[in-house]
Amino acid sequence: MASPISAFSAFPAIRHDSLTLVALPNAVWLARAYTAATLRGWGFSDEQFVDDARLLVSELVTNAVQALGMHVVMPKVSTLLADESLIRLVLEVVPGVDALLIEVWDADPRAPARPGRPGIDSEHGRGLAIVDGLAASWGYRYPKDAALPWIKVVYATIRSPPTGGANRRCP
């Protein structure tokens, strides 16, 4: 069975941008702001679409920050600058697919936990359930061309609105 993102690899992206962040808690806020600014810059004016994309990014980046464990103890500067401490957010729109691909790359080789049923008082465990409910598709993969052999990419797709500037070519 083909990967849900295989349609994205069949065509060159007309909009592609990425941001690399250190896996600290403020990375989530920065990723959300970057996502909104990028999508609006691409001409997407549907606020529901932008908000949904921001929420997906927030959940995926939060999971990456938590997986890398740097939210617990402030690491040394040398650790912060290491490839293993970085998260890469990729946003991509492809013609003919009518969707936004969101990818979050991190250096934790563990597969994301499948959405479960957290306790009513639990502060964790709802993120991937939100992703599962909001995304058209989501999953993870281990790219063969990654700089580090254990890099994992968690991705989600969200249907793009029928109108917007995303189908215009970059100047």
Segment 9-33, tens digit of pLDDT: 555 568 899 999 988 889 999 999 9
Domains of the chain with bracketed CATH: 6-165 (3.30.565.10)
Q: Report residue 85: phi and psi, to 5°.
A: -100, 5
Question: What's the whole-model pTM score?
Answer: 0.79
Segment 83-100, tens digit of pLDDT: 778 899 999 997 777 899
132 contact partners, CB below 8 Å, separation of at least 6: 115, 138
Segment 126-159, tens digit of pLDDT: 567 788 888 999 999 988 876 666 789 999 999 9
Q: Say what the pLDDT of residue 71 is.
A: 55
CA distance 134 to 128: 10
Q: In whole numbers, what is the pLDDT of the chain averaged over residues?
A: 79
